[in-house]
Amino acid sequence: MANFDWHAGRGDLHGLALLDRAPESEGIDLAAVRQYRLGRVRAEMETRGIGAMILSDPVNIRYATGTRNMQVFTSRNTPSRYLLLTAHRSILFEFTGALHLGEGYETVDEVRPAKTASFVATGPDIVQRERDWARDMDALVDELAGRDAVLGMERMNAGVAIAIAARGRRIVDAQEPVEMARAIKSAEEIKCVLASLRATEVAVSKLRDAIRPGMTENQLWAVLHQSVIEQNADYCETRLLNSGARTNPWYQESSNREIGENELIALDTDVVGCHGYYSDFSRTFHSGPGTPTPTQRALYQAAYEQVQANMAILRPGMTFREYSQAAWDIPEAFHAHRYYLSAHGCGMTGEYPYLYHHGDYAEAGYDGVIEPGMVLCVESFIGAEEGEGVKLEEQVLVTETGIEVMSRFPFEQSLLAREV
């Protein structure tokens, strides 16, 4: 990676220029990435007869435009920042005082101030604010797409959608077109994913090196967090790191528990990294100073076998049903605490599709086709009803002929070693 002088011309670097000239951007045509993604969204809109779409999920706004602003804050304060998209027009309604953040993007035709329609912003006047918001937006859709245009909407307070529907506008859910757009990555997007993964792997290496019995889970997780933020990640979506008895069942986030000697430590990265792309792989470590027990090795090897077996069957053109039927069959001892799915799509976050275990397909599964350009995360959690558990996961790219493993962080040889 080429070196970049952050001090040279610092006074001229702001907003888009700063993001596009960051060190992790070397060799990536980010303008092409943005234009490809916007084109994907518009194509899915056209396929479904959607004349206009209002996006409020900050991840989807970033996907469609490349712009970002206080992603976590704006995800729970809606609509305080949103995007109106038609076949020929892209208008970003930016948060109060932040209009400058949307300037300079070829994917944004105009930036306007957002009108926040939430109770915290308006108090008892919320109903009138929602009606005013709906009136103005409905009129703008009329102007840009016509009175008969179908409007796609996503995560907003219910009053806003009700108010627009009351004006006679046909409303549809925007989730499907956006998720389908995001599912297939371009070659330049893959460069972004790899940059995010390489940065996260640096952080996981620092975390692994920092493991010491007596330190808390929070102290260990903070090593990862500091490193990814230093490398221009956006945020960590979870803090799924646990040790010892807290490794099982899964989904226990880091705590002030002190890590003991010779315990397992399980980590799922869940890093929304540089360029906004998800680095999502899982590893399980051993705290030392002794060697892993036969039980710890057996758990780890079962999880490793599941991940490797399920990666081996993945191929382009395979249906989700076919994958489920061929997937590794979870032993009964580990079935109750299994991970809730077998694999999932991955892009700027976890996304479409979800691929389910054989035993769960009838109840939870749906069909579709695994296509080239999809990025998938193949998951495993192995833990009996009592005792420790192991979390492993790999991130792969579906190619025209098979898959390529994108995550490079090594597995633990001490846990893979067979008992002598």
Q: What is the pLDDT of residues 301-320, one digit of tens each?
A: 999 999 999 999 999 999 99
Residue type, position 182, single letter: R
Check pLDDT > 90 for residue 25.
Answer: no
Lowest mean pLDDT among 71-80, 182-191, 379-388: 71-80
Q: Which residues contact 413 (CB under 8 A, 6 or more apart)?
A: none
pLDDT score for 60: 96
Across 347-373, average pLDDT: 96
Burial of residue 125, with CB atoms counted within 10 A of its CB: 0-12 exposed, 13-18 middle, 19 or more buried: exposed
**DSSP-assigned letter for residue 12:** G
Query: Does position 77 have pLDDT exceeding 80, yes or no?
Result: no
Question: With 0-12 CB in 10 A as exposed, 13-18 as middle and 19+ as buried, what is 358?
Answer: middle
Q: Kindly tell me if the per-residue pLDDT of 3 is higher than 70.
A: no
pLDDT mean across residues, the chain: 92
How confident is the model at residue 378, as a pLDDT?
98
Distance, in Å, from the CA atom of 269 to the CA atom of 391, rounded to the nearest integer, reads 11
How confident is the model at residue 419, as a pLDDT? 64
First to last CA, the chain: 43
Enumerate domains of the chain plus CATH numbers.
10-182 (3.40.350.10), 187-416 (3.90.230.10)
pLDDT of residue 23: 61
Residue 171's SS3 state is: strand
pLDDT band at 336 (very low <50, low <70, confident <90, very high): very high
* pLDDT(87) > 70: yes
User: With contact defined as beta carbons under 8 Å apart, do 284 and 390 qualify?
Assistant: yes
pLDDT tops 90 at residue 157: no
- The better pLDDT of the pair 378, 418 is held by 378
Mean pLDDT of 98-105: 90
Angle between helices 58-65 and 175-182 (to 10 degrees): 50
**What is the mean predicted confidence (pLDDT) over 60-73?**
91
Amino acid at 103: E
Q: Mean of the pLDDT values across residues 408-414?
A: 95
Per-residue pLDDT at 117: 82
Please tell me what DSSP assigns to residue 405: E
User: Span 396-419, mean pLDDT?
Assistant: 94
Mean pLDDT of 200-229: 97
State pLDDT tens for residues 261-294.
999 999 999 999 999 999 999 999 999 999 999 9
Q: How do residues 130-156 score in pLDDT, each as one tens digit?
A: 999 999 999 999 999 999 999 999 988
pLDDT band at 26, cuts 50/70/90?
Answer: confident
Q: What is the pTM of this model?
A: 0.91
Within 10 A of 10 (CB to CB), how many other CB atoms are there? 10
Rounded to 5°, angle at Cα 395 from 338 and 254: 55
Q: How large is the average pLDDT for residues 202-216? A: 97
SS3 290: coil
- The pLDDT-based confidence of 7 (bands split at 50, 70, 90) is very low
Question: Which of 13-27, 145-159, 296-310 holds the top average pLDDT?
Answer: 296-310
Mean pLDDT of 180-188: 97
Q: Compute the distance between CA of residue 197 and CA of residue 204 in angstroms, rounded to an integer.
A: 10
Q: What are the percentages of helix, strand and coil residues in the chain, rounded to 5?
A: 40, 20, 40
- The pLDDT of residue 11 is 37
pLDDT score at 22: 54
pLDDT at res. 420: 46
- Which has the closest alpha carbon to 198: 270, 273, 284? 273
Residue 21 has pLDDT above 70, yes or no: no
Q: Grade residue 116 by pLDDT with cuts at 50, 70 and 90.
A: confident
pLDDT at 2 over 60: no
